[in-house]
Structure 1
Amino acid sequence: MNLFYFAYNFLGTGLFLTLFPPFWFYSRVTGRYRESIHQRIGIYPDSLISKISGTPRIWIQAVSVGEINVALAIMESLAALMPDCALILSTTTEHGHAFAQRKIRQSRVRKNTTCVFAPVDFIASARKALSTLKPDILACLETEIWPNWLIEAHRMGIKTALINGRISVRSIKGYIKILPLMKETLKSVDAFSMIRASDAERIKRMGAPGNRIEVNGNAKYDLLLNQVDGTDREKMKRLYKLIDNQPVFMAGSIRGAEEKIIIDVYEKIVQSHPEVILMIAPRHVERSRRIEELVRERGFSYQFRTDLDKENHSRTASVIIIDTIGELQSTYSIASIVFCGGSLVPLGGQNILEAAVWGKPVFFGPSMEDFLDAKDLLDKTGGGIQVRDGRELAEKAVYFFDHPEEAEMIGRLAKKAVVLNQGSARKHAMVLQRLLT
């Protein structure tokens, strides 16, 4: 056994024996987590196992809400390729499990799919889960590299894969620190279906065999076109009392110092275009009050998005602070131009294609490390505009408000970037299908 893998399991066993007993006691006393606690150590009830029918049996692990959506896109492609397959989707958190169950019920794979809680990466739990669920393939999404899962699955003759694989510039620094453990783990993976060529190169640096790696794009973006609904746009226009062709500057997922930068930019825009409305959505809703302070200091009229839900309240202000969760993508539909945050500060950017899919010209700053694949797609079509700082953002925003026909043209190129990327989910699914031949 590799020394680093032995150390990983030695420490993991110690943590498990220390933390699990009090967690189990807490669950027994409070009644919380009773459904999940046994599954987290690899024990699944017969009532759940009996629901898994069909062949081949493919287990996909997802953690975040975003990964669950990606998993479902790939699972739908798997069901199209192999209609009799049994799909197992595992999640880590209670919230993720509830979200996954809801999405499965609404999907085309609801009859094929069983949703379970993922076991912790403790060697005994991994062995128990794998021997109980008996998958033909274990597929981990994006950055879900769990040593015991993958090594034990390989030892048991189960095919393994990393699909929609992503290794960022930031994350590889951490992986390199545990390189011997990564090499031991990755040699147990049969296929690596990565998002970008740079992801493929990084996973190879971590020890993945080069002949098992391929590049197939980001399945996340396959979902976007399905989420574009013209009724959403009309609903938003009514909500915000917008007339046709009302110019709107939308700033989404704003973080930290960008709050002040966006207010500065808007101040410059309204000097030549006083009719422009600013809609600003912080990445974290609790920052809404800080944005309120900045807007009030400049003397702009403003309202919170939640104010518009109150009786006899309608939009009258020039600045709308979006203090809700889950409406950002729909709100992009009514923008004239969009700035996506986390990019003028060194935080890796946000998903710029969520705005591009609506046919909007998309601005972003120099920090796009976490969404380089999306940036590359917009760069290829010319649908994105990268700016160095707030000053350049203001200059280019004013230019596009001066020339709305050019903004519309850039927006069409932005949507083209999304359309051209369709099909990645099927490519990742085909990687799994080939493992069975």
Structure 2
Amino acid sequence: MPLVLARFWWQGRHAPALRQNLGQRLGLVQCYSQPVIWVHTASVGEVIAAGPMIRRLLDRKLEARILVTAMTDTGLAQARKMFGDDVDYSYVPLDTPGSVRRFLGRVTPKVAVVLETEIWPNLITQCYRKQVPVFLINARLSERSARGYERVRGLVRPVMQKITWIAAQAEKDAERFRRIGVAPASVEVTGSVKFDVDITEGIRESARQCRQILGARPVWVAGSTHAGEDEQLLEAHRAVLGQHPQALLVIVPRHPDRFGSVAELAVKAGFTVARRSLQQDPAHAQVYLGDTMGELMMLYGAGDMAFVGGSLIERGGHNPLEPAAWGIPVLSGPHVFNFETVYERLRAGEGVVMVQSGDELGQAVVRLMATREERQALGERALAVVNKNRGALDRVVEGIVERL
């Protein structure tokens, strides 16, 4: 525990909120006298995925306050941007018996709604002892993770049996959860709520305004990129510029603490760079750095095509449905095990271009920029996959309300 707290303190040099809210990590949150629906997310991606569900629960007027927790300061910042004063916010307590016990003693939630793969043993066990149902929503479990859990089945099984309801994204996920000890009656396949992506009119208008700033030129967006990918993306863009000299790469690093280093990387590689956070004019830039929080969805809408990061390296990929919902071509590297089912459906619907390397990515972008018909057809197929698989959100919200 001292080492963990010291780490948060050290990270607080660049994110002051981590230092200011250390008490929340220990479960020292505000006390509630009214019923609470607790929704826990990991970070930005899960907050965005939970957004439509939270709005539906707010619309139901359930006479309960919604508390959103996250692991990261960026996740809470995204939640505040999305919901304002409509919900409450806190860091999730550290997964120690004392921290979780203090948290539950102050919040006394009616239910804990946990997104995707946030399986914390003490959190689940303490909720079970306090008779707080735990719902694992939009749940996914890769084969790699399932095999890891099976190696420690004796430790995992007692925890998994304490989960009240698992709303799995696909039958593969449901089967893996059963393998590691979840009672079959507690698992239901509802589909992925990420297919129910909601692009508000406000986001659409912001995307139109952004596109006006970017100008009438070929634009490709690389979203949620990681270290080890940016170099490949910049080399791919060099190849693109060889065929389309006016092309613009909009690059959006996954983590804010990398904004500065990615800008330096692009400059050292010889590109002219404009930064969105500094309101620099991208008119004559070759690389536009999306170094702002919560704007990736909008930036996808301002592009002609999108590469989804975390996939050229063994990170497991990020959500390809956000660009797909705009009806633009989606490109991805080979490492997408975190979104296995989503990519299977995109591939089946011929709505995604999979590449094996940065070189292949550059070639694919060059080809799509040169052929408007192929670009339009690919985007339409991607959007069709999204629309075909909608409906999980209704099933999840109904499941939560029924069990409440």
What TM-score comes out, normalization by structure 1 length? 0.76
Aligned match for 2:304, one of 331, 336, 340: 336
Kept in 2, the 8 Å contact 1:63–1:91? The answer is yes
- State the one-letter code of the partner of 1:424: A
**1:193-236, Cα deviation, whole Å (9 max, x unpaired):** 12233322222222111221112223244344237733223322
CA distance in 1: counterparts of 2:218 and 2:73, whole angstroms: 41
Kept in 1, the 8 Å contact 2:43–2:76? The answer is no
Matched with 2:165 is 191
- State the one-letter code of the partner of 1:217: G
**Are 2:403 and 1:435 aligned?**
yes
CA distance in 1: counterparts of 2:352 and 2:161, whole angstroms: 39
- State the one-letter code of the partner of 1:379: R
Aligned match for 1:148, one of 108, 122, 126: 122
Gaps of 5+ in 1: 1-14, 25-30
- State the one-letter code of the partner of 1:233: A
**Are 2:259 and 1:289 aligned?**
no
CA distance in 1: counterparts of 2:176 and 2:201, whole angstroms: 32
CA distance in 2: counterparts of 1:32 and 1:370, whole angstroms: 29
Matched with 1:69 is 48
- The structure-2 alpha-carbon separation of the partners of 1:342 and 1:137, relative to structure 1 and needing over 3 Å to count, comes to closer
The count of aligned residue pairs is 394
Matched with 1:305 is 275
Larger C-alpha radius of gyration, 1 or 2? Answer: 1
**1:395-433, Cα deviation, whole Å (9 max, x unpaired):** 433332332122112112222233334332332222223
CA distance in 1: counterparts of 2:301 and 2:204, whole angstroms: 9
- The structure-2 alpha-carbon separation of the partners of 1:307 and 1:320, relative to structure 1 and needing over 3 Å to count, comes to farther
- State the one-letter code of the partner of 2:323: A
Aligned match for 1:320, one of 264, 268, 287: 287
CA distance in 1: counterparts of 2:279 and 2:29, whole angstroms: 44
* Secondary structure class of the residue paired with 2:83: helix
CA distance in 2: counterparts of 1:262 and 1:38, whole angstroms: 40
**1:301-346, Cα deviation, whole Å (9 max, x unpaired):** 6232359735xx56224x1241513343323223223222332332
Kept in 1, the 8 Å contact 2:277–2:290? The answer is no
What TM-score comes out, normalization by structure 2 length? 0.82
Aligned match for 1:400, one of 368, 373, 376: 368
Matched with 2:156 is 182
**Are 2:330 and 1:362 aligned?**
yes
Aligned match for 1:84, one of 63, 79, 83: 63
Kept in 2, the 8 Å contact 1:228–1:358? The answer is no
Kept in 1, the 8 Å contact 2:204–2:298? The answer is no
CA distance in 2: counterparts of 1:40 and 1:314, whole angstroms: 41
Aligned match for 2:84, one of 105, 109, 116: 105
Matched with 2:12 is none
Q: CA deviation at 1:20?
A: 7.8
**Are 2:223 and 1:252 aligned?**
yes
**1:100-119, Cα deviation, whole Å (9 max, x unpaired):** 4554326xxx2xx4444544
- State the one-letter code of the partner of 1:185: V
CA distance in 2: counterparts of 1:369 and 1:20, whole angstroms: 32
Kept in 2, the 8 Å contact 1:291–1:321? The answer is no
- The structure-2 alpha-carbon separation of the partners of 1:431 and 1:289, relative to structure 1 and needing over 3 Å to count, comes to same
Kept in 2, the 8 Å contact 1:121–1:148? The answer is yes
- The structure-2 alpha-carbon separation of the partners of 1:280 and 1:37, relative to structure 1 and needing over 3 Å to count, comes to closer
* Secondary structure class of the residue paired with 2:200: helix
CA distance in 2: counterparts of 1:348 and 1:217, whole angstroms: 19
- The structure-2 alpha-carbon separation of the partners of 1:356 and 1:20, relative to structure 1 and needing over 3 Å to count, comes to closer
Kept in 2, the 8 Å contact 1:356–1:415? The answer is yes
Matched with 2:196 is 222
Percent sequence identity over matched residues?
A: 27
**1:279-321, Cα deviation, whole Å (9 max, x unpaired):** 4444432222222222x2xxxx6232359735xx56224x124
- State the one-letter code of the partner of 1:252: G
CA distance in 2: counterparts of 1:362 and 1:42, whole angstroms: 41
Kept in 2, the 8 Å contact 1:288–1:321? The answer is no
Kept in 2, the 8 Å contact 1:345–1:367? The answer is yes
Matched with 2:233 is 262
Kept in 1, the 8 Å contact 2:53–2:397? The answer is yes
Kept in 1, the 8 Å contact 2:193–2:393? The answer is yes
CA distance in 2: counterparts of 1:159 and 1:58, whole angstroms: 11
- State the one-letter code of the partner of 1:288: A
- State the one-letter code of the partner of 1:248: V
Matched with 1:8 is none
Matched with 2:32 is 49
**How do residues 132-147 of structure 1 correspond to structure 2 at under 5 angstroms?**
132-147=106-121
Q: CA deviation at 1:138?
A: 2.5
Gaps of 5+ in 2: 10-15
Kept in 2, the 8 Å contact 1:60–1:87? The answer is yes
CA distance in 2: counterparts of 1:215 and 1:115, whole angstroms: 29
Kept in 2, the 8 Å contact 1:142–1:162? The answer is yes
- The structure-2 alpha-carbon separation of the partners of 1:186 and 1:395, relative to structure 1 and needing over 3 Å to count, comes to same
Kept in 1, the 8 Å contact 2:42–2:70? The answer is yes
CA distance in 2: counterparts of 1:336 and 1:433, whole angstroms: 40
Answer with 89-98 or 392-401: which moved more: 89-98
- State the one-letter code of the partner of 2:247: V
Runs of 4+ in 1 over 6 A off after TM superposition: 18-21, 31-35
- State the one-letter code of the partner of 2:219: V
* Secondary structure class of the residue paired with 1:164: strand
